[in-house]
Structure 1
């Protein structure tokens, strides 16, 4: 089963857009971060108690589950760091959601995201995005920016693109 996979940096809207795209296409929605939290508790607790490596292992298992489920699958921002995940994505349609740094600053304010627990969360976000951007761009079949305009426009554009690629979602 081929999934429509949303990748991109933290705060790009993968969860909210993914839910709406799945609804528009009439398919299931799976979010790897939500799956990890549901099964193992808050991500920030996993990071602080068990470490990032343990979180990445749990995330990898959630990615496998999501890709097997099909439909629309939203990956956590760092899921693409895993080589097996990158290899698996070659068999799916991959949508990169981007967001401008000045826009994401408002979205991540007062965040509990473990990797953004720095004095300047926006600067840390940019550092992480800059490091991961080549992976995102290499994996993506298409890119949509979520920085401006109603997110519904992005949802409609992704749904239209997904229908035009006409693989089973």
Structure 2
């Protein structure tokens, strides 16, 4: 097995992909986005949800997470990837970072979203419901937590990199 990955988890809109790319660069390692693997191999996530349903998407997501974790480096997981019990077990072998974001900040990040779980009249209310339903799980899986609501993205990346370089699994 490769070295343990640094795995970014958290709610939709927390910045897992954008921070993950910069973090991998800062640490001189690879970056893999589980949602990116799904899109590359199976097409747009919205289309998978529409044509095949959430259960099929979650099965594809589990495969993508396994692939991403086996690569090591920095891995960003989709917000709901942690719902899978096998994924939860696999995360025990990795360094898991929870990225959080305030509702006020995420409102601007989700403007015009096409995310399947946020469709409807009030995407921010739906985000709140989904995020709150997963909060305890996120917290139980994470070894560290960083808020992405304010401040420069580079400062957040630097703080996570410093944590990662401490070497504590």
Of 129, 132, 135, the match for 2:134: 132
Could you tell me which runs of 5 or more consecutive residues in structure 1 were left unpaired when the two chains were aligned: none
Q: Which residue of 2 aligns with 1:39?
A: 41
Query: Structure 2 CA distance, aligned partners of 1:134 and 1:30?
Result: 25
Query: Structure 1 CA distance, aligned partners of 2:27 and 2:89?
Result: 25
Aligned residues: 167
Q: Which residue of 2 aligns with 1:63?
A: 65
Q: Spell out the pairing of 1:86-165 with structure 2 (5 A cutoff).
A: 86-165=88-167
With normalisation by structure 1, the TM-score equals 0.97
Aligned partner of residue 165 in structure 1, secondary structure: coil
Aligned partner of residue 56 in structure 1, secondary structure: helix
Q: Structure 1 142/166 Cα, relative in aligned 2: closer, same or farther at 3 Å?
A: closer
Displacement after TM superposition at 1:5 (Å): 0.2
With normalisation by structure 2, the TM-score equals 0.97
Query: Structure 2 CA distance, aligned partners of 1:165 and 1:87?
Result: 21
Query: Structure 2 CA distance, aligned partners of 1:143 and 1:119?
Result: 31
Aligned partner of residue 104 in structure 1, secondary structure: helix
